[in-house]
Amino acid sequence: MSGGVDSSATAALLIEQGFDVIGITLKLWPQDCVNRAEDKCCGPQAVTDARSVCDKLDIPYYLVDESADFQKHVIQYFADEYKAGRTPNPCVMCNQNLKFGRLIDRADQLGADFIATGHFARVEKKPDDSRYLLKRGRDSRKDQSYFLFSLRQDQLARIIFPLGEKTKSDTRDVARHCNLKTAEKEESMEICFVPDNNYGGFLQSANLVQKHRGDIVNVHGHVLGQHDGIEFYTIGQRKGLGITTPKPVYVVELDAENNRVMVGDESALDRDEFTADRCNWHPFETLTEPIEVTAKIRYNHPGAAATVTPLENGKVKVKLHSPARAITPGQAAVFYQDDLVVGGGWITAGR
């Protein structure tokens, strides 16, 4: 229970459906970091709100300290990806390792058969019962299946998503009906540990990166200026480059090995092909032949028609039918067929 309306409504719906419900909040912040997440997911105010909801619903409540694993699997990963010239997706890693990793371990300790969260997504079994399938939530505006693509079959087998068939409006109605204090609570769209969206400031204040000067170059390798570290740049960035050029330029590549930020004009951002590795599949164990999908290259991407072809060592080649802007190494590429999440992988560097 994150202290928001979605997880609050989830608990209420499960009780209505006859489940014996236990509320759990994962404490993800070391004590000296709580001010960074004061009113965000899993921060002190969220804990207070989650406890209040459980009191109202008359269910047990536990606050479980997972701050060490959060530091290891999410915060350190976040910093390491930026250092490597990639743009991380901490929400996917948090879901994979904490919310549907360590939380399942806690469920076992408490004798719980399932875990449930307030994600807008659905889990179903294949008609032959051979595998679990992940599908988009019915509310297309709130669908969160993108962040769940990496969940394994043994994890999907233990998950219930009561909001999968609901809209956001339905969710608030459930909370209002139960007189829960979170019914009108606003939701946060930022990364929970970077509440001001200044990820570079967070990395420095947490002593995860230090400034180190390097060259800003154009696509021909000519030096245009200096930067303070590739960690402070992302593919597609235009503002804050600190250089003057005759026409607008954008970050088109981050070269960690040579500590260079490469910039180019807008057309240099367009690509129609990339590779992805560490792929995870839901309808089948491995991809053995090319398939046609709709590929999302970031959460807020509308999706693009693509052909996905298997390569060696769990990698795939993704050929978009039309070029896309700012395909970013480190982000997840998630593949859909209608509402079904076929699978996904992590976008790799290189063209």
For the segment 316-349, what is each residue's pLDDT rounded down to a tens digit? 999 999 999 999 999 999 999 999 999 999 999 7
Residue 44, pLDDT score: 78
Quote the strand ranges of 219-329, DSSP E.
Answer: 223-227, 250-255, 260-264, 270-281, 291-296, 304-310, 316-325
Kindly tell me if the per-residue pLDDT of 189 is higher than 80. Answer: no
Pairing of strands 121-125, 132-136: antiparallel
Q: Domain containing 260 — which CATH number?
A: 2.30.30.280
Give the pLDDT confidence score for residue 5 in this predicted structure.
95
pLDDT of residue 24: 95
Mean pLDDT of the residues in the chain: 92
Q: 42, 94, 178, 279: which is the annotated catalytic residue?
A: 94
Counts for the chain of helices (H) and strands (E), in that order:
9, 16
Catalytic residue among 41, 42, 91, 192: 192
- Give the pLDDT of residue 35: 46
Q: Is residue 230 part of a domain?
A: yes
| pLDDT exceeds cutoff 60 at 279 | yes
Instruction: Give mean pLDDT, residues 241-252.
Output: 93
In a domain, 201, yes or no: no
Which range marks the domain in which residue 278 is found? 270-347
**How much is the pLDDT for 55?**
96
Same domain, 14 and 161: yes
Q: Has residue 199 been placed in a domain?
A: no
Whether residues 133 and 158 fall in one domain: yes
Name the more confident of 308 and 42. 308
CATH classification at residue 31: 3.40.50.620
133 and 21 in a common domain: yes
The pLDDT of residue 34 is 45
pLDDT of residue 29: 73
Quick one: pLDDT at residue 19?
Answer: 97
pTM greater than the 0.75 cutoff: yes
Domain co-membership, 45 together with 124: yes
Q: What is the pLDDT of residue 40?
A: 54
Q: Which residues neighbour 166 within 8 Å (Cβ) at sequence distance 6 or greater?
A: 9, 120, 137, 138, 139, 174
Q: Of all residues in the chain, what percent carry a pLDDT higher than 90?
A: 84
Known active-site residue 33: no
Query: Is the distance from CB of 75 to CB of 206 less than 8 angstroms?
Result: yes
192 catalytic? Reply is yes
- Domain boundary residue, one of 245, 264, 283: 264
- Report how many domains make up the chain: 3
On whether both 325 and 251 belong to a single domain, the answer is no
Q: Give the per-residue pLDDT at 46.
A: 86
Going by the DSSP 8-state scheme, the letter that residue 191 receives in this structure is: -
Residue 71 belongs to some domain of the structure: yes
pLDDT of residue 86: 95
Interatomic CA distance for residues 85 and 17, integer angstroms: 47
172 or 187, which is more confident: 172
Asked if pLDDT for residue 351 goes beyond 60, the answer is no
Q: Encode pLDDT of 198-246 as tens digits.
A: 889 989 988 999 999 999 999 999 999 999 999 999 999 999 999 999 9
